[in-house]
Amino acid sequence: MELALAPETLARWQFGTTTVYHFLFVPLTISLAALTAGLQTAWVRTNNEKYLRATKFWGKLFLINIAMGVVTGIVQEFQFGMNWSDYSRFVGDIFGAPLAFEALIAFFFESTFIGLWIFGWDKLPKKIHLACIWMVSLGTILSAYFILAANSWMQHPVGYRINKERGRAELTDFWHVLTQNTALAQFFHTITAAFLVGGAFMVGIAAFHLARKKHIPVMRTSLRLGLVTVVAAGLLTAISGDQLGKVMFKQQPMKMAAAEALWDGQNSAPFSIFAYGDVSKGRNSVEISVPGVLSFLADGNFNSYVPGINDINKAEQEKYGPGDYRPNIPVAFWSFRWMIGFGMASFALGILGLWLTRKKFLLPPGMRTSEDEVPHLVLFRNKALSPKLARCYWIVALWTLLFPLIANSWGWIFTEMGRQPWVVYGVLQTRDAVSPGVSQGEVLTSMILFTLLYAVLAVIEVKLLVKYIKAGPPELTDDDLNPPTRIGGDHDDADRPMAFSY
């Protein structure tokens, strides 16, 4: 249906909006859980107080963020039944299982241990408390894995057969669903991209404090940890992205062609940096491209043949019957570029930052008049220029804090939009997946309510984050430095105020 307010269109908008919104919190949750756990491990091992302050600071931001991630995640699970009931009937036998696994194995883990971690500072011995945050981290990663296995099945269905009698797809090999290369490649790429988000978040916020010369010991540690994370994650994201691209080229050639706005197949296909596509005419009016690179990305060979949109559309018409099997080309084209562009920019900044903050460039301790001088960089041994350059870098780092998050969002938009008009590639089209019994008014109502609520919550969340970012790491109390020795708290502190209360 082409109508702007058709239930299918509305349901798609709602799915897109709620998913992208949910996914703003997911990568930060995954990466901050692990980074916070790492900082707390450093505290337990070294007893250096700066690590505990860092743990509390990043832990607080992590909690503000995960709260939103958890509550927006609930919508995702029920949305399939609400707006996509025919999809649920058709694929429930396969798609439901990883979802149920996620709840039973990952969510329970995550949500139970997060409660223990938040309230457990004065109830658990140091090491058990530390184990709790690692459990949370494990939970977030497992959760990502099961969801991505489910999503990968929609991108590349395996391990199933079609039961014509019951009109549905049925599972034949669950292990194959969990371990197919699409699932593994997507998981690898999504997790590394998540750490890019967390790393850049840390770098940006640490830079903000360093620029103001505040909380220097904690923020310098955070800055270095963030930078190392950005560089390592950036590298792995690129590698995993390349792998995913090759898998995609084999399994979803249409998506790859759309990502490049490559209308007609050719050998030694170019990677186009900029194009202005005209979908109705099936050609690009303006294009800047590098020859051979697309062939290399797709197949590892600069001369390979890459089929174009028109060829694939024709082939799919022959295979699946008449129809238009092209996704929205401009969206696919630009989302692909924005994903790569924002991700690469962040990675480059990470490399630069790591290079700039080498020991060699830091003001040596003997020359410092106060602790404040530590973040000043002595570039090229030019003392007058270095504070200015350092400040420049801090500001840039702060402004680019959200780059990987933008890259992540566009990455998902590309993945999901590039698969259209299929909801399960080659098996079920999106228009056949919506709930037939749900009225336009109902979908519209829910879409408006979710959007309004999400908008309000976004404002609240960002304000809270800013408040706690500005406040900086907390001062430590005696209670912080003397954790209990027994589970449930020590006997003599029965009437002491709780270390954490709502």
Partner 1 sequence: MELHDVWFVLIAVLWTGYFFLEGFDFGIGVLTKLLARDRKERRVLINTIGPVWDGNEVWLLSAGGATFAAFPEWYATLFSGFYLPLLIILLCLIVRGVAFEYRAKRPEDKWQTNWEHAIFWTSLIPALLWGVAFGNIVRGVKINADMEYVGNFWDLLNPYSILGGLVTLSLFTFHGTVFAGLKTVGDIRVRARRLALKLGVVTAALALGFLIWTQADNGDVWSLIAMIIAVVSLVGAIGAVAAGREGWSFALSGVTITAAVAMLFLTLFPNVMPSSLNDAWNLTVTNASSTPYTLKIMTWCAGIATPVVLLYQGWTYWVFRKRIGTHHIADAH
Shorter beta-carbon distance to partner 1: residue 122 or 316: 122
Shortest Cβ distance from residue 463 to partner 1 (Å)? 9
Q: Which is nearer to partner 1, 169 or 401 (CB)?
A: 169
Which CB sits closer to partner 1, 208 or 454?
454
Q: How far does Cα 475 stand from its chain's mean position?
A: 31
| Torsion angle of C-alpha atoms 416, 419, 425, 426, degrees rounded to 10 | 160
Between residues 107 and 394, which has the closer beta carbon with respect to partner 1?
107
Return the SS3 of 408. Answer: helix
Count of residues making up the chain: 502
Please report how close the Cβ of residue 317 comes to partner 1 at its closest, in angstroms: 29
Least separation in angstroms between residue 180's CB and partner 1 is 16
Nearest to 399 by CA among 357, 356, 346, 358: 346
One-letter amino acid at 171 equals: L
Task: Count CA atoms within 13 Å of residue 18 on its CB side.
Answer: 25
Q: What pairs with residue 377 in β-bridges?
A: 362
Cβ proximity to partner 1: between 11 and 184 the closer is 11
Q: What is the CA radius of gyration of the chain?
A: 25
Q: What is the nearest approach in angstroms of partner 1 to the Cβ of residue 431?
A: 16
Q: Which is nearer to partner 1, 107 or 334 (CB)?
A: 107
Closer by beta carbon to partner 1, 65 or else 182: 65
Q: What single DSSP character describes residue 488? A: T
Whether the Cβ atoms of residue 189 and residue 237 lie closer than 8 Å to each other = yes
Instruction: For residue 160, list its beta bridge partners.
Output: 171
User: Which residue's CB is nearer to partner 1, number 67 or number 293?
Assistant: 67
With respect to partner 1, which residue has the nearer C-beta, 384 or 494?
A: 494
Q: How far is the CB of 257 from partner 1 (least distance, A)?
A: 34
Minimum CB separation of residue 74 from partner 1 in Å reads 6
Report the residue number, 93 or 278, with the smaller CB distance to partner 1.
93
- Is the Cα dihedral 417, 418, 422, 425 positive or negative? negative
* Shortest Å distance, C-beta 212 to partner 1: 22
Whole-number minimum distance, CB 496 to partner 1, in Å? 8
Strands 266-267 and 271-278, bridge-based pairing: unpaired
Which phi-psi region, left, alpha or beta, contains residue 282 (left: φ > 0; alpha: ψ -120 to 50)? left
In the complex with partner 1, the residue whose CB is nearer, 139 or 277, is 139
Helix axes 329-356, 253-260, angle to 10 degrees: 70
Residue 395's Cα: distance from chain center in Å?
Answer: 24
Give, in order, the Cα–Cα distances in Å from 422 to each of 73, 85, 418, 459: 23, 16, 9, 34
> What's the rounded Cα separation, in Å, for the pair 351 and 199?
12
Smallest CA-to-CA distance from 157 within 140, 186, 180 is with 180
List 277's β-bridge partners, or say none.
Answer: 284
Residue 480 C-beta: closest distance to partner 1, Å = 14
* C-beta contacts of 80-84 below 8 A and 24+ residues apart: 82/435, 82/438, 82/446, 83/11, 83/14, 83/15, 83/434, 83/435, 83/438, 83/443, 83/446, 84/11, 84/15, 84/423, 84/433, 84/434, 84/435
CB of 60 to partner 1, least distance (A): 9
Q: Which positions ≥6 away from 398 have C-beta within 8 Å?
A: 204, 205, 207, 208, 211
CB of 116 to partner 1, least distance (A): 6
Instruction: Report in angstroms how near the CB of residue 494 gets to partner 1 at its nearest.
Output: 7
Query: C-beta of 299: minimal distance to partner 1 in Å?
Result: 36
Tokens of 338: 């924005």
Closest CB to partner 1 among 367 and 487?
A: 487
Give the nearer residue to partner 1 in terms of CB position, either 175 or 359.
175
